[in-house]
Amino acid sequence: MECILDALNSLATLNFLTKRTMIEKFGMLALMTILLVGIWLKYKFTYWQRRGLKVPPFSFYWKHMKAGLMLENAFADRDFNIYQEMKKMGVKHGGIYFVLTPFYVPMDLELIKKMLQNDFNHFVDRGMYMNENDPLSTHLFNLPGNKWKLLRKKLSPTFTPGKMKMMFERLIECTGGMQKVMDKQIGNPVEIKEILSRFTTDIIVSCAFGLNCNSLENPDNEFRTRGRTLFLGKSFLFNLKWGLSFAIPSIYKFFNTKIISEKVTEFFSGVVKDTVTYREKNNISRNDFLQLLIELKNRGQLLDDEKLVTEEISKEENKITLDEIIAQAFLFFDAGLETSATTGTYCLYELSLHEDMQNKVRKEINSVLQRYDGSLTYEALGEMVYLDQVVTETLRKYPPLPSLPRICTKDYKVPGTDLIIKKGIRVVIPVFGIHRDPDYYPDPEKFDPERFSEGNKNDVTYMPFGYGPRYCIGMRFGLLQTKVGLVALLKNYEFKVHPKTKEPLEFDPRIVNMSVKGELWLEHKKCNNSDIVF
């Protein structure tokens, strides 16, 4: 019996020692893992320091990333903070990190100009995530390298001044609905951001999808509902998903992840396919963007542009597919809707604060329209010089995107330094920071259209639509719909800021572009312009 007890005691002791040994081994393993992860993280977060480039302190990086993921401030605010931090460091260029990804930030204007224009072939791509199985993501904004170059060349003729003039009547048609809504609200404040979003929705649906959705009078139609879904109500998980797709797209490529939901894809694909099929079957043509895309699909050139096809590209090679039409129509909706509405919103807000400027714009509008028998034409809009300055200053103070993303497509030696930006490194051009830098725009918080009286908006300090060969192809159309909306409103109504508007304005942290947070309410009353009609 004693032998058995001794044996059991021995086994218990052995078991205890074995467990203890296992715990010790596990603890050592955990400690080694933590140590190795720490070494790896330190290695990752010293990428720029090892290359002799200055970076903000780690506390700034952590605060910056946390604010983005938790929606504590807007994308523009975080970009501006980076710019100011770099400015305090007194550097011509610097580095930052997002998640585990190093980003290069050029600060020197000559360097930015070289990268975006002279040395563009090193920075062709935006580095945006796209998925061939996610057709709406394969549009011009996202496409890389040769795919972008070829499609850009095909689409460029659809955005010429002649084509904008052809579509001008579509824009004018949409102003009638806006005036009806405004007239009904005389005596009551209007949430101008919502009005302009519905106005631009009607224009884009008309021009890009060939349909009349009339969201001004029917704000709950499906296109307007889809627009709200795309731009509003973005959650922590959505922002995390989008941020990671931008910072480390390789993970998304590995798992073949889609960013755009199936419901959104089905809706926009179905609308475009049905409209294209109907037009082709019934031989219907319409002066809009969709018709131009259909011509490129079927002929490889536009009906009135025999010079489109060069010796380098045959008509057959110049054709586009139905999937490409769908993607570009979606881009038209995605990029054009909120940016133009936002620009118009900020412009009316600033003019509501500056009565003298508002009166000056209105006087110019009335003066020009009188020369055109009271009709707003494409040529008349082109003669409104002060209106152009006002819109230009609005885009300076509130650029649609606070920064321009790029990715290095081949190794690049930064001029005047020993630094080589390796292929695959991401680059951020700080547009918002430059636009609000007092070294380039004295008293930058002041709204001053006279800054652009000398026509200096082609300088690299002004980049609301990008710079170099990859500037926004839809710039003309975006400006056109913004100005048409402003003319329709300013010639008919006088505006003041309503007390319901929360000031100072803040940027919406849920949206990448610089949309205003919350509602922007304006008071309005009729102008005495009975002799000026569209």
DSSP code, position 453: T
Q: Which amino acids are annotated as binding site, given as ranges?
A: 472
Q: What is the CA radius of gyration of the chain?
A: 28
H/E stretch holding 183? helix 161-184
d(C-alpha 83, C-alpha 461), whole Å: 14
Q: Is the peptide bond before 249 cis (omega within 30 degrees of 0)?
A: no
d(C-alpha 280, C-alpha 185), whole Å: 42
Which residue, among 498, 226, 520, 500, has the nearest Cα to 398 in the 3D structure?
A: 520
Residue 93 three-state SS: strand
Q: Which amino acids are annotated as binding site for heme, given as ranges?
A: 472
Residue 316 three-state SS: coil
Q: Dmax of the chain from CA atoms?
A: 120
Q: CA triplet 313, 315, 331: central angle to 5 degrees?
A: 85
Which residue, among 316, 267, 315, 324, has the nearest Cα to 290 in the 3D structure?
A: 324
Which residue, among 113, 75, 77, 121, has the nearest Cα to 92 in the 3D structure?
A: 113
Which residue, among 150, 151, 145, has the nearest Cα to 423 in the 3D structure?
A: 145
> What amino acid is encoded at 308 in this protein?
L
Q: Are 137 and 331 in contact (CB under 8 A)?
A: no
Looking at the DSSP bridge assignments, the partners of residue 141 are none
Query: Count of H helices and E strands in the chain?
Result: 18, 9
d(C-alpha 71, C-alpha 511), whole Å: 10
Question: Residue 37: exposed, middle, or buried by beta-carbon count in 10 A (0-12, 13-18, 19+)?
Answer: exposed
d(C-alpha 56, C-alpha 78), whole Å: 13
H/E stretch holding 404? strand 404-407
3-state secondary structure string across 48-66:
CHHHCCCCCCHHHHHHHHH
Q: What does the buried/exposed string (b/e) look like for 112-138 if buried means 16 or more CB atoms within 10 Å of the residue's CB? A: bbbbbeebbebbbbbbbbbbeebbbbb
**Alpha helix (H) ranges present in 232-354?**
236-247, 249-254, 262-282, 289-299, 322-353
Residue 200 three-state SS: helix
Which residue, among 329, 335, 407, 328, has the nearest Cα to 145 in the 3D structure?
A: 407
